[in-house]
Chain A
Amino acid sequence: MPRAVDLAVELSLLEAGFVVVGSTARWLVSGAGAPEPRDLDVVVEARELDPFVDALRLLGGTTTAARLRRCRDVRIRTAWGPLDVFLGPAPASRDARVRDVVVLVAA
C-alpha cells in the first residue's frame, strides 16, 4: 500500500474531513494499475479546517489553521510523506474503502 494512502487512512480514522485529489485519488479509483503516488493531495473545506489541523497534529504534521487560511495551499511533511493541503470547496466525491476505512475521493 502506498504511504500516501496510509496517510489518508490515518487522517480518516482521526475523523478529519477532506477529499483526496490528484495522483492518490487516481490510484484509489483505478487501483494498482495507476502510477504509485508519492504524496497525498487533499482538499479541505473552511468549516473542516480546525478538526483537520487537530488530526494532522496527532500525526506529527506541524501547521496551523491560520497558516492554511492565509496561504490556501500548503505542503506539510509527515512520517507518511508529503501532504499538500488545498483549502477550498470540496469537489464531488465518492467513497473508497481501504482496510475497512472509508476515504472520500474526488469523483
Chain B
Amino acid sequence: MSSRTGLSVVEVGLLRAVELLAGDEIARCSDVLVAAAATDGLGPRYTWPVLVDLGVPWRRHLPLVELLGNAGSIVGDPAADAQYVEVRLSRVGALALAAERGETGPVPLGLVEGSWYADGPVPPFDPERVVGALLAAGADVGLPAMPSGGVVSGDLEGLLAGRAVRLRLSCRIVAVGGDLVITETPMGVAGDEVLQRIAERATDHVRDAHGLPLRSIRRKGSPVVDVEDLTTMRDGVRLVVRLDDGADLRAAKEWLLDVWPVTVERDARLPAPMPELLDRWDRGDGTGLRALADLLTPDVPPTSPLT
C-alpha cells in the first residue's frame, strides 16, 4: 500500500494509465487495461474489476475515476465489457495521483475506504469525519460507514480499539404504509439476491407421498405476500416487501432481518486502534489533506427557495 494514499500498486497503476490515455478527455477502458498491463503485468481479466471498483459509488465513498457507460449497478448487474465503457480521472483521482507524485501532501484515502471493498478486513469510514478528525487532530471518526449504505452493528467499540471482531451488516429497512421497503444494502450485497432469498425464505412446498414437490405455498410464519424491485439508477435501491394486511411491522422487520443476505456477518480488524491510526498518519505539509477537504465541500452553497 502506498503511504501517500493508501492505494495498492495495481490501483495506482490503473490511475496512471487513465491519466496517460485520457488526459483531459476520456479513454476507452479496454485501452487503459492494456496500458496498465504493460507496467504491472496483470491482464485485463484481473484488472477490469479493480478499475470498476475504483469508479462505482457503492464500492468507494470517493470514486477515483468516472466511468461512462454501463459500470454495473448496486443491485448486482455486472458492468459491460471494458471496450464499451469509457473512463476519466475524477477530481479525487487526480488529487491521489498528485499525492503519489509528491506534488501535494498525502491524502487519507486508505483511512476512508479501508479494505472491505477488496474483501480485506478494514471497514470504511465517513470521509468528512475522517478528514475532520485529521484536520482537528481529533481521535473520533465515528462508526464504520459503508458507501452503499446499510447498518453496521456488533462490537464497534472493540473494532475501534483495534481488536478483531465480527460485525453484522444489515439492509436499511423502512416502513411505507403497511409494507417494508429496503432502501440500502450492505457493501457487497446485491439487491437482486436480497429479493431472491426473501422469496425463497417465504416459500414452502406441498409435497406428495414420496416427498416430491407438488406446488409452492407460503411458508408458515412468513409475513411476506410479494416482493418487487423498484430500484432505479437515479433513485437508488428500493426493494418493496409487501406484507399481509395489518401485519405487525416490527415482527415482520425482525423476520426480514433474519434472512440472509438481508443481514450478513463480516470479520473486521483495524491495523491499530483508531486514535493511533489517526495520530500516526503522515500528513506531510498538510496540502493533500486540505485539498481533499476542499473537494468534500460543495462548490455551490445551498440557496434558500425564498431568494
Contacts and interface: CB of A to CB of B under 8 A. Distances in A.
A58 B265 contact: no
Contacts of A82: 260
Contacts, number: 31
Contacts of B265: 38
A60 B211 contact: no
Given A15-B211, A38-B265, A79 B166 contact: no
Interface string B136-176: 00000000000000000000000000000010000000000
B67 interface: no
A14 B265 CA distance: 27
Interface in A64-106: 77-82
A59 interface: yes
A42 B261 CA distance: 20
A79 B197 contact: yes
Given A3-B258, A58-B205, A79 B200 contact: yes
B260 A58 contact: no
A79 B211 contact: no
Contacts of A58: 205, 213
A38 B197 CA distance: 16
B260 A79 contact: yes
A78 B258 contact: no
A5 to B, nearest CB: 12
Contacts of A81: 260
Contacts of B248: none
Contact of B198 (A15, A78, A79, A80): A79
Given A58-B205, A59-B200, A60-B197, A79 B213 contact: no
Contact of A80 (B196, B201, B213): B201
A81 B200 CA distance: 12
B193 interface: yes
Interface residues of B, number: 16
A59 B260 CA distance: 13
Contacts of B196: 60
B241 to A, nearest CB: 13
A3 B205 contact: no
Given A3-B258, A3-B260, A15-B211, A38 B200 contact: no
Nearest to B260: A81
B37 interface: no
Contacts of B166: 38
B56 to A, nearest CB: 22
Contacts of B200: 59-60, 78-79
Contacts of B205: 58
A3 B258 CA distance: 7
Contacts of A80: 201, 260
22 contacts: A3-B260, A14-B211, A38-B166, A58-B205, A58-B213, A60-B196, A60-B197, A60-B201, A60-B203, A77-B197, A77-B260, A77-B261, A78-B197, A78-B200, A79-B197, A79-B198, A79-B201, A79-B259, A79-B260, A80-B201, A80-B260, A81-B260
Given A60-B201, A81-B260, 19 more contacts: A3-B258, A3-B260, A38-B166, A38-B265, A58-B205, A59-B200, A60-B196, A60-B197, A60-B203, A77-B193, A77-B260, A77-B261, A78-B197, A79-B200, A79-B201, A79-B260, A80-B201, A80-B260, A82-B260
